[in-house]
Every structure is written in C-alpha cells, then in structure tokens.
C-alpha cells in the first residue's frame, strides 16, 4: 500500500486506528493477529491462526508476520530501555498518535 491513494489509510494506521484505515477484512485480521502478538503473544490460538489461513494467508506469510512483528517489538523495547528517541525532524507529521495513546502496551 503505497502512494497518495493510501494516504488516509496510512495516517489511520500510524495513529493505530484500524477502523478508520478502511482495510480489507483479510488485512485487518492480520493486523489484529500482530496486535495479539505484540500485546499478549501467549494468547495466540490455533483458531486465530486457522482464521488467517481461511482468510487466504499462507503459513509462510503468517510466519513472516510473526517474525516481522517480533523483530519490531524487539527494536521498540530496546529503544524504550535505552531511552532512545528519533529526531523529530525525521517525521514531518510528528509523533504517531498510537504512541501517545493511554492504552499503549
């Protein structure tokens, strides 16, 4: 998803608003899975994985989502532990709304 036609979806995702992102059900399901991985990995169920398969995701794609999600979480936790913050000039839109939400895990 690249280009101006996806700018609203990109802004919504940046703010952690899956409802406003207007995603296809298949993509929303995958992002909800990655959210479970991020917040409570031990809660991932066989049924959740099967739901991804039924939505059309292959086992290789599901595994890649797990690898990417886990790696990103590692980076975030390292940055948090060492109090590393990106230079604000790197992102003209400012701090993503998802990072300022009170429910951020």
* Residue 37 is assigned to a structural domain of this protein: yes
- Domain extent, residue 30, equals 4-88
* Residue 81 is assigned to a structural domain of this protein: yes
How many alpha carbons fall within 13 Å on the CB side of residue 39?
9
- Per-residue pLDDT reduced to its tens digit, 68-98: 999 999 999 999 999 998 777 776 666 666 6
pTM of the model: 0.77
CATH no. for residue 11?
Answer: 1.20.1290.10
Number of domains into which the chain is organized: 1
* Residue 60 is assigned to a structural domain of this protein: yes
- Per-residue pLDDT reduced to its tens digit, 40-62: 999 999 999 999 999 999 999 99
How many alpha carbons fall within 13 Å on the CB side of residue 92?
0
């Amino acid at each position: 998803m690249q280009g101006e036609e996806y700018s609203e979806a990109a802004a919504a995702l940046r703010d952690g608003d899956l409802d406003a992102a207007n995603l296809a059900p298949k993509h929303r399901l995958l992002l909800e899975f990655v959210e479970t991985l991020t917040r409570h990995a031990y809660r991932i169920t066989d049924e959740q994985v099967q739901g991804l398969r039924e939505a059309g995701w292959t086992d290789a794609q599901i595994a890649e989502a797990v690898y990417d999600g886990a790696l990103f979480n590692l980076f975030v936790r390292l940055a948090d532990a060492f109090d590393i913050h990106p230079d604000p000039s790197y992102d003209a839109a400012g701090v993503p709304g998802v990072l300022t939400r009170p429910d951020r895990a």
